[in-house]
Structures are given as structure tokens and as C-alpha cells.
Amino acid sequence: MNIGAVSEKSGLPAKTIRHYEDIGLLKPDRAGNGYRDYSMVDVHRLRFLQRSRSLGFSVEECRQLLSLYGDSDRESADVKAIANAKLSDIDRKIAELIGLRDMLRHLVKNCHGDSRPDCPIIEGLAGEARVQ
Amino acid sequence: MNIGAVSEKSGLPAKTIRHYEDIGLLKPDRAGNGYRDYSMVDVHRLRFLQRSRSLGFSVEECRQLLSLYGDSDRESADVKAIANAKLSDIDRKIAELIGLRDMLRHLVKNCHGDSRPDCPIIEGLAGEARVQ
DNA sequence: CTTGAGATTCCCCTTACTGGAAGGTTTATG
DNA sequence: CATAAACCTTCCAGTAAGGGGAATCTCAAG
């Protein structure tokens, strides 16, 4: 499969896909003409990257997540440790997104258009997340 | 309030706080000695930035979200349009995080340590999100 | 008064892409 | 068959969003 098709299927620009290859996140075959030749596994990895990057995980975190499978030299204890750590991150992110969503919903409901100066939503903006 | 205290309260490094000032996300006062002097509103904005950046929103998106209040020249229709667009984004992100979490949970439960070659989790990795 | 913690600016480095040039390949069309 | 459009290649440079660290300044404590 050529890079254009993979781009469409993964939702990532071709530039980004080549970049991910440069930094070792995947290694597509090459066709006789020099074009990259992607498999469905590559598409899965790229889709996964698209998702997790857009959710605020760094490329290195994504690399760890990807290593949870596929790398046949994985060790069960490592896998579980990494996965559990990421599960905490994810739970926190979900909670924060829900907080953000509620805040915006409140804003949409209560801020009724006349540009009144003091909007009580400002309090909610910072969330009640414990710092540190 | 000095930048150190604000850093602690917002969870952002001082470097990042100064950077946000450079790109116009806040304008703290200056004390007589040249030190930046932050208000509680600044702290709120910074906390908000910390949260939304870590959730995968770009700085420009954060700028839009911040403009939903504080800018007294806001127009109700604009506010609602932006807020509603962001609400969709947030809902999608939440759904994706839940998908990611379920996948990891499944992996933790089912991948029982002996490095067996084929893990069915790979299917789940890409999610069933419709591309495009 | 001096010592250490915290502030300032400035400049360069890093991460994670993104745009564009210059050129090779494949596909559709006259 | 020619040739133009669409796709692919590499390479180089730029952007976005910070981070490291030097050189200097200021404040609080002993």
C-alpha cells in the first residue's frame, strides 16, 4: 500500500508518516520502484499514533504504548507496569476532560450574550485539580 | 505574586509561564524591581492552560478557549459557536481515551506474561474511529 | 555584608512536525 | 506514443512550544 492510501486510512499527513519512520516508529517495506510499501499492521500502528498523539501523549509515550505489543521481546512484568502507569494517566485525562466539558457546558448555558463584564465561569476555569 | 509562587500554583514551569507571556496569553504587572507580579486571574488562566495543553489542545485552541471569557469584547454568538465546537472535540477525546483505557485494561488482564507471539489486542489498537 | 535563593534577559537547543524545492514514477488522456 | 497530472522520493529549511544554561540583578537571612 502506498503512502497516500495509508495517509487517508490513518488520518495522518504523509509528511508525518515519513517522520515517524525516521524516528523508528515503523519500518515499511520498499517496492521495486523505491516507494514505501505499507502493511495493515503499519496502518494500525499509525492510527494508534494519531489517536494517542491527539490525546496529549508524547511520541516517547506512544512508543512505549506501542511496545506493549508487537515487540516480541516484551516481558510481562514490564508490560503490566507500563500499562498500569498509562492507565492512571488516562484516567486523569478523562477526569480533566470531563471537568473541561462541564465548564464549557455551563458557559454555553449561562453566558447569555449581552457582554456582561463578570462571568462567574472564571472560577471554574482553573478546575479544582490539586496542584502537584 | 512572584513567578515562583505562580509556577507552583499553576503546575507550569517558570520558563513556560514567561513563554506564554511572550506569545501574548497574559500580561502580568511589573513590580518596582522589575519582577513580574501576577494576579489570581493570571493563576487561573495558567492553570487552565496547563490543563488544556496536557489534553492535546494547541496553544491557539487554548487562546480561543481563553477568549471565551475575560475579553470583554466577546460576542455571545461567537462564544457559543466556539464553545460548542470545542465541546464536540472534547466529547471525541473522552470517547477515544475511554477506548484507549479499555484496550489497556484488556491487555493487562489478558496478556499473561509468556511472550506469546500473537496478541489479539492489536485489532483494538487502531480503534474503530471512522477515519475522515 | 555576604551568601544563597529567586528573578531577569538572552541565546541556543530540542521535539515534533510542516513546507517547499528538485526530481523520479505511474496513470490518464489526446 | 507523448505528455500532463498525480504521486512518490530525498533534502533542507522553518515553525511551534517549550527547555537548558549563562550572566546579571534583587531580596531575605545570618
Span A77-96, pLDDT tens digits: 676 777 888 899 999 999 99
Residues 81-120, chain B: which have Cβ under 7 A from strand C?
Answer: none
A19 and A44, same domain (yes or no): yes
For residue A117, pLDDT over 50 is answered with no
B65 and B92, same domain (yes or no): no
B92 and B55, same domain (yes or no): no
Closest by alpha carbon to B59, among B68, B67, B51, B49? B49
**Enclosing domain of residue A127:** 79-132
- Say yes or no for a CB contact (<8 Å) between A75 and B115: yes
CB-proximal positions of chain D, under 7 Å: 7-10, 16-21, 25-27
* pLDDT tens by residue, B23-64: 999 999 999 999 999 999 999 999 999 999 999 999 999 998
Domain boundary among A25, A49, A74: A74
A98 and A63, same domain (yes or no): no
Is the C-alpha dihedral spanning A16, B128, B94, B81 positive or negative? positive
Counting Cα atoms < 13 Å in the Cβ hemisphere of B79 gives 26
Nearest to A117 among B9, B72, B105 (CB): B72
For A122, the grid coordinates are 472564571
Closest by alpha carbon to B112, among A71, A68, A77, A86? A77
Which position has the higher pLDDT, B79 or B13? B13
B96 and B55, same domain (yes or no): no
Residue % of chain B over a pLDDT of 70? 74
Q: What b-and-e string marks burial along A12-36, b requiring 16 or more CB atoms within 10 Å of the CB?
A: beeebbeebbeeebbebeeeeeeeb
For residue A41, pLDDT over 70 is answered with yes
Å separating the CA of residue A13 from the C1' of nucleotide D3: 29
- Say yes or no for a CB contact (<8 Å) between A131 and B8: yes
B36 and B58, same domain (yes or no): yes
